[in-house]
């Protein structure tokens, strides 16, 4: 069985190019981990 080629995922190509090349990344595809205490601190 032969697999069909998949189109490139644009967001992943964007991050591959810019993720570590800029000082600030305002649109990451994941979130930073924080502790429960950090999450509840402002409450």
Distance CA 39, CA 24 (A): 22
- pLDDT, tens digit, 9 for 90 and up, residues 1-43: 888 888 888 888 888 888 888 887 777 767 777 889 998 999 8
Cα–Cα distance for residue pair 36/1, rounded to 1 Å: 47
Position 41 scores a pLDDT of 94
- Rounded to 5°, angle at Cα 9 from 13 and 5: 120
Tokens 């810019």, located at residue: 18
Q: What is the pTM of this model?
A: 0.42
């Amino acid at each position: 069985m032969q697999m069909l080629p998949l189109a490139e995922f644009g967001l992943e190509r964007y991050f591959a190019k810019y993720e570590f090349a800029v000082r600030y990344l305002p649109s990451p595809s994941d979130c930073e981990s924080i502790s429960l205490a950090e999450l509840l601190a402002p409450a």
